[in-house]
Amino acid sequence: MRALLSLQRHTIRRQITTLGLVLTAGVLLVFGAGMLLHEASNRHQTLQATLTIEADIIGSNSAAAIAFGNEEEANEILASLAAWPDVRQARLFLPDGRTLGRYAAAGADDSCHVLRPSNAAIGFDLRWCGAVMYQPVRLHDQMVGVVAIEASLDSSYRAMAGTLAFSLALAMVAFVASIPLWRRVAARVAEPLSRLVELTDRVSREHDFRLRANVSGSHEVDALASGFNQMMHELQRRDERLTHELHQRRQAELRLNDLAYFDPVTGLHNRHYFRERIDAAVARAARDGGRAAMLYIDLDGFKQVNDTLGHDSGDQLLREVGRRLTDTLRRSDGVCRLGGDEFAVIIDDDSDSRQVETVAAKLVEALAMPYRVGQRQAPAISASIGACVYPDGARDRDALMRRADGAMYRAKERGKNRYWLHHEGGPEAPSRRQLVEESLDGALDRGELRLVFQPQFMMGDGGGTGTPTAAAVFGFEALLRWVHTTVGPVSPAEFIPLAETSGAIERMGEWVLREACEHLVRWRRRHPHLQMSVNLSARQLASDESIARLARVLANSGLPAGAVELELTESLLVDRSELMLGRLGQLRSAGFGLAIDDFGTGYSSLAYLDSFPITTLKIDRAFVRKLDDGEAAHGNAIARAIVAIGAALKADVIAEGIETPAQAQALVDMGCRRGQGYLFAPPLDEPEALALLERAPRRRLLPA
């Protein structure tokens, strides 16, 4: 029973198989037992009948012998029982109980029955060890004696044992044959259920409510499967609804967040966010002893766009402004639209006033580019920007915002399309950069600009001394110098970008070219092979007129082709338009050589380099500086690559910024013979340059 109960914990398949087999065994057992009983009863009846007949025969044959008391004859008659091997013993009794005749089979054991006459004993007596038949002997209907015959049951037992063995063998075969049968039955019944169980498992594992039961079996299994499918359908529906609702809720949250922190027109952060961000920035700067800056940006002329082109166009333009702001600024800078045409930028990275001014100048330039609205050109828009840096220009957040706002009005007052930085000296006093920027336009007219000339040498191998020599000056690079009346000397690296932004560079660049040509014409009278390199700003290539003007300057100077080389920055080569290629071609046909300055630091694609009419590559001093580090250095590999590119393009290669003999030697070793740098000479005044030219052209680089 316990075994059956424990079976419940097993699979249905196993339960069915086991129960089926138990059932089969039971049926076979009952059947076997029935067979045995049937055999026993048959044997019992046969034995009784046989003993009765034998006793009758013996009785009728021996009636006379009994009547005459003939013992011998009685024994003889009984001896005929030897023909029946089952008879163990027999006796003939006289009515008074004496024994007249007896028979005992050879070797028979008479311990089972002791044959004794008695009226009560007449009949059949069966025991496990044998059966006895007592029968009266009659003569003329009168009982004259009793015959008793005992038979052994051995042959019956043997026959029953045979039957038992046969039934057992049959049952065994039937049992074994039933095993696969029951298994199949179990499989048939359990298979659809197992599949349902597997499916349920998968659903709970994968949470895939689209799964459906595709099983059929008994009526119940079908009902179960369709119930399962209905349940899954319901689950799937609920799951989808839940997912949908969660999605909706997330969207709603995002929308709320957007509304709270973003400006719907431009997608930039809004005033609310700005407030939080500026608080955080000032608090951070105060804590770290750093800086935080804010810029107020107000568009100039925006109202006109709204009035003439409509509000949709206005929105479109505001989006473009937002795009330009984010493109120009770094990701870490916070850009917000405060409303209308007002924007604000938070710079929270400890930038100082100069860096903030650089950012402001870039923004002014970016926002002043022409705008298109749809297919139309928008009226000219620019930006006035007011900036203030915490803690340099303001001691707290409110002051910072107030002063940035004040500075913005100052920028408007001073003519718009510019920035104004509030600083310690008060709103009226301009910063150094503002001073520089404002006086840039007039610098040329006031005669504050002049040129210096840095000689360019052919480098020799030193004639076996192991130290390279600067063999001969073959040219000069003209470099612009400006000494500001109040600020003092201003580096071209500082004012050239400002002049490019303000547009002053065009006039300035033309002046540089004219000056450089005039100098060269004079110097070539004594040194006819001298060349001159002149730096050209990208702005100077922006229009056909300025190209024509440059060509005219060269033509007027009467210098031959190749005497003047224009140095362009590599970033120019990013523009591979027909227009740009055409303009460079025009410069080449006008007689200019074209050099790529600071080569290797820009973004020119090597694949397109040969489409430009280039005559010289200038290895940037960043790579020259690294030549000191020895053979394996990165700069070494790049310099070598530039020399190879130069050779492939059939262009000259010149290295700039050579400061040590090791750098010069490394360059000579890699095949770069042209060089320029403090090692040979710094940029020189005209008299110094002339003196250098007059000195012996061969000069050891280093004192021995």
Residue 105 touches which member of ligand C2E, Mg ion, none, C-beta under 5-8 Å by kind: none
Q: Of 98-106, 311-319, 418-426, 654-662, which part binds ligand C2E (CB under 6 A)?
A: 654-662
- Among residues 498, 471, 474, 473, the alpha carbon closest in space to that of 484 is found at 498
Residue placing its CB nearer to ligand C2E in the complex, 203 or 536: 536
Residues 181, 175 contacting (CB under 8 angstroms):
no
Q: Of 12-20, 184-192, 234-242, 529-537, which part binds ligand C2E (CB under 6 A)?
A: 529-537
Distance of CA 414 to the CA centre of its chain: 54
Task: Calculate the dihedral angle through the C-alpha atoms of 115, 119, 125, 129, rounding to the nearest 10 degrees.
Answer: -20
Told to check if 437 binds ligand C2E by CB under 6 A, we report: no
Told to check if 493 binds ligand C2E by CB under 6 A, we report: yes
- Among residues 276, 280, 249, 248, the alpha carbon closest in space to that of 260 is found at 276
Please pick, from the candidates 438, 448, 659, 686, the single residue that binds ligand C2E as defined by CB under 6 A.
659
Residue 270 touches which member of ligand C2E, Mg ion, none, C-beta under 5-8 Å by kind: none
User: Strand pairing partners for 532?
Assistant: 476, 564
H/E stretch holding 552: helix 544-557
Instruction: List Cα–Cα distances, 554 to 112, 119, 513, 516, 538, in angstroms.
Output: 155, 169, 8, 10, 18
Q: Which residue has the tokens 């055999």?
A: 39
- The Cα angle at residue 89 between residues 88 and 91, in degrees rounded to 5: 160
Told to check if 632 binds ligand C2E by CB under 6 A, we report: no
What is the sign of the dihedral through the CA atoms of 298, 304, 306 and 309? Answer: negative
Told to check if 657 binds ligand C2E by CB under 6 A, we report: yes
| Strand extents, DSSP E, 57-98 | 87-93
Residue placing its CB nearer to ligand C2E in the complex, 56 or 510: 510
Residue 479 touches which member of Mg ion, ligand C2E, none, C-beta under 5-8 Å by kind: ligand C2E
Peptide bond preceding 391 in cis form (omega within 30 of 0) = yes
Residue 491 touches which member of ligand C2E, Mg ion, none, C-beta under 5-8 Å by kind: ligand C2E
* Gap between the Cα atoms of 635 and 622, Å rounded: 8
Told to check if 656 binds ligand C2E by CB under 6 A, we report: yes
Other CB atoms within a 10 A radius of the CB of residue 224 amount to: 17
Please pick, from the candidates 506, 565, 597, 652, the single residue that binds Mg ion as defined by CB under 5 A.
597
**Amino acid in position 59:** G
- Among residues 155, 158, 138, 189, the alpha carbon closest in space to that of 13 is found at 189
Residue 46 touches which member of ligand C2E, Mg ion, none, C-beta under 5-8 Å by kind: none
Please pick, from the candidates 95, 391, 406, 492, the single residue that binds ligand C2E as defined by CB under 6 A.
492
Closest contact distance (angstroms) between CB of 516 and ligand C2E is 8
Please pick, from the candidates 598, 599, 664, 676, the single residue that binds Mg ion as defined by CB under 5 A.
598
Please pick, from the candidates 39, 300, 597, 652, the single residue that binds ligand C2E as defined by CB under 6 A.
597
Closest contact distance (angstroms) between CB of 667 and ligand C2E is 13
Q: Which residue has the tokens 């130069």?
A: 646
Told to check if 496 binds ligand C2E by CB under 6 A, we report: yes
Residue 496 touches which member of Mg ion, ligand C2E, none, C-beta under 5-8 Å by kind: ligand C2E
SS3 536: coil
Residues binding ligand C2E: what is the number (CB under 6 A)? 23
Told to check if 571 binds ligand C2E by CB under 6 A, we report: no
Told to check if 468 binds ligand C2E by CB under 6 A, we report: no
Residues 167, 122 contacting (CB under 8 angstroms):
no
- What are 397's two structure tokens? 């957040």
Q: Of 59-67, 127-135, 487-495, 662-670, which part binds ligand C2E (CB under 6 A)?
A: 487-495
- Among residues 453, 457, 476, 454, the alpha carbon closest in space to that of 701 is found at 457
Q: Of 151-159, 174-182, 306-314, 490-498, which part binds ligand C2E (CB under 6 A)?
A: 490-498
Told to check if 567 binds Mg ion by CB under 5 A, we report: yes
Closest contact distance (angstroms) between CB of 300 and Mg ion is 35
Residues 443, 482 contacting (CB under 8 angstroms):
yes
CB-based contacts of 358-362 (< 8 A; 24+ apart in sequence): 359/295, 359/328, 359/329, 359/333, 360/295, 360/385, 360/387, 360/419, 360/421, 361/419, 361/433, 361/437, 361/497, 361/498, 361/501, 362/328
Told to check if 616 binds Mg ion by CB under 5 A, we report: no
Going by the DSSP 8-state scheme, the letter that residue 431 receives in this structure is P
Cα atoms in the Cβ-side hemisphere of radius 13 Å centred on 35: 18
Q: Of 268-276, 284-292, 351-359, 676-684, which part binds ligand C2E (CB under 6 A)?
A: 676-684
The 3-state secondary structure of 122-139 reads CEEEECCCEEEEEEEEEE
Q: Of 101-109, 434-442, 631-639, 655-663, which part binds Mg ion (CB under 5 A)?
A: 655-663
H/E stretch holding 53: helix 12-68
Told to check if 683 binds ligand C2E by CB under 6 A, we report: yes
Told to check if 437 binds Mg ion by CB under 5 A, we report: no
Closest contact distance (angstroms) between CB of 611 and ligand C2E is 23
Told to check if 570 binds ligand C2E by CB under 6 A, we report: no
Told to check if 565 binds ligand C2E by CB under 6 A, we report: no
Please pick, from the candidates 28, 278, 436, 480, the single residue that binds ligand C2E as defined by CB under 6 A.
480
Site residues for ligand C2E per CB under 6 A: 454, 479-480, 491-493, 496, 509, 512, 535-537, 567, 597-598, 621, 656-659, 677-678, 683
Site residues for Mg ion per CB under 5 A: 535, 567, 597-598, 656
